[in-house]
Chain A
């Protein structure tokens, strides 16, 4: 692994070295390294590119790292990864994809992640997307995430894409069972001519299910963003959608939250706001000794933290 690979791994998966526990590191279309543990088995899928991750019931305080890096220009791939999380497990899953494109061909990664989360299990899922490289080829990522939460299961999803991805089309679908809970936090920063579209569909199918979506985004330069968070309550449930965007330069942002209730006991709320950085925020930080540029950076870093 060279320095570029190491930098990508550190950025998308906070990995400085080969992680402990279960992992699968994929580089330029092939598995670079893989490790299963007694409780977490990683095996290649048959017929398609991708892996299956089986986490035994009652597995606790363990992690799975499955970073993907594309360092060769022009690679285009679709990978299907399925996660089977056993009952009453409590695990951390770190995914993420980094593209370094120094050539003129487009590099594209389409990851399809499907999670089957057993009764009472808890998953923290961290996904970072990042792109770099001086080439003229585009860096493209189209992640698709599908989650099935069984009774009493819960999932925290932190999905981040800060700079570097020219085009992204993100689709997330989550089915929440009885007493189950999902909290999805999405952070996005686009710049230059980048385009990002994100669609999140959450179906609150079980009684007393709960879902929260918190989306924070910053659109700079001439970039474009479109958000379609949609929450559907099919049972007695609680759902909250909050979308906040900071718009800068000539960026364009559309935020189209939707809530749909198919049950009289569904309680659903949405809030959406788009605005530029408030002048008094910049002035306040400047009175503390920051330059205008430093103040702006500080505000954006806090907002996307």
Chain B
């Protein structure tokens, strides 16, 4: 179980302190499939980064399966089974897709294991295993490989930050199937930050994060109608122009 209590993250800018996370309390049951959504700049990515250790909270605590994560390094969290898929993954000169999957799995993978991982993200192993993870890959290809590295780790807590961003429509269908299978397997807790209705509708629970706080939580049936009734940025001026067509 993931237990987050009063999580705070603030930054000081020009002598003023701005709260990015302002007291997040959250419990996520084992093997739960949660999709986190909300307006841009609301704190979703910061929350995810705090869980992985990529951002250091200024207050509060995070506990995963009884292990206090709050003061652990990124590496220690990864070794406890926490994995994170970057919204904008880095590129590496000289490191191949196979190298990265091997590091992610923590062992040499058989060819069929490599194949299975890449197939899940819509890539053919034959074409990609020996490719370098450098600028020769498109943004969408890089993103799919990023997701494969998270899957390779056989993590107990997987966090994906906007996995659909930069992925074409065809691959997106494959990706939603992959997430559906992950959910149905029920052997990992999954947190996905997403704006996509198809991913939101797969969730056990949707969590709304806005202005550094949790502003809603419920099943897709409960939350989706609320989301589609609101605007991109909760701006009154935009409300008038974008009535009915709004999304988060």
Beta-carbon contacts under 8 Å, A256-305 to B: 278, 280-281, 283-292, 298-299, 301-305
A281 contacts B52, CB within 8 Å? no
Contact A288 B149 (CB under 8 A): yes
Given contacts A280-B86, A302-B99, A287 and B94 within 8 Å (CB-CB) = no
Chain B nearest CB from A219 CB (Å) reads 16
The reply to whether the CB of B238 lies closer than 8 angstroms to some CB of chain A is no
Residue among A278, A285, A304 making CB contact with B103, cutoff 8 Å: A285
CB A111 to nearest CB in B, in angstroms, measures 27
Decide if B122 is an interface residue (CB 8 Å cutoff): no
B75 contacts partner chain A, Cβ-Cβ < 8 Å: yes
Chain A neighbourhood of B95, CB < 8 A: 298-299, 302
B90 touches A288 (CB 8 A): no
Interface residues as binary, A29-47 with B (CB distance below 8 Å gives 1, 0 otherwise): 0000000000000000000
| Chain B min CB distance to A75 (Å) | 35
Interface string of A178-222 (1 = CB under 8 A from B): 000000000000000000000000000000000000001000000
Complex CA–CA separation, A303 to B99 (angstroms): 12
Q: A288-B149, A290-B75 are in contact. Are A281 and B92 (CB under 8 A)?
A: yes
CB of B153 within 8 A of chain A?
yes
Known interface pairs A280-B86, A283-B74; A289-B106 also in contact (CB < 8 Å): yes
Q: When chains A and B are docked, how far (Å) is the Cα of A298 from the Cα of B94? A: 10
Assess A298 versus B103: contact at CB under 8 Å? Given A281-B92, A287-B52, A287-B54. Answer: yes
Complex: how many Å from CA A137 to CA B108? 41
A244→B79 contact, CB < 8 A: no
- 8 Å CB interface, B47-62 against A: 52, 54
Q: Contact size class for A?
A: 20 to 34
B84 at the interface (CB under 8 A from A): yes
A216 to B89 CA separation, bound complex (whole angstroms): 23
Is residue B78 contacting chain A, with contact meaning CB distance below 8 A?
Answer: yes
Q: Find the A residue at minimum CB distance from B81.
A: A289
A246 to B90, CA, bound (A): 16
Q: Which residues of A contact B90 (CB under 8 A)?
A: 278, 280-281, 283-284
Interface residues in B138-189 by Cβ distance below 8 A to A read 149, 153
A187 and B78 CA atoms in complex are apart in Å by 32
Return B230 CB to nearest CB of chain A, in Å: 32
Chain B residues with Cβ below 8 Å from A280 are 86, 88, 90
Q: Compute how far the CA of A284 lies from the CA of B100 in the bound complex, rounded to whole angstroms.
A: 10
Residue interface mask B31-60, A partner, CB < 8 A = 1: 000000000000000000000101000000
Distance of A45 from chain B, by nearest CB (Å)? 39
B residues in contact with A286, CB < 8 Å? 73-75, 78
Residues of chain B within 8 A (CB-CB) of A298 are 95, 99, 103
Contact B89 A284 (CB under 8 A): yes
Contact A299 B79 (CB under 8 A): no
Is the pair B75, A291 in contact by a Cβ cutoff of 8 Å?
Answer: yes
In the assembled complex, which residues on chain A have CB atoms less than 8 Å from the CB atom of B83? 287-288
Name the residue among A278, A280, A288, A301 with the largest chain B CB count within 10 angstroms: A288
Write the nearest CB–CB distance from A107 to chain B, whole angstroms.
31
Interface contact B94-A304, CB-CB below 8 Å: yes
Contacts of A304 in B (CB 8 A): 94
19 contacts between A and B (CB under 8 A): A244-B93, A283-B74, A285-B103, A287-B78, A287-B83, A287-B84, A288-B78, A288-B83, A288-B149, A289-B79, A289-B103, A289-B106, A298-B99, A298-B103, A299-B95, A302-B94, A302-B96, A302-B99, A304-B94
The 4 closest A-B pairs by CB, nearest first: A302-B95, A302-B94, A289-B78, A280-B90
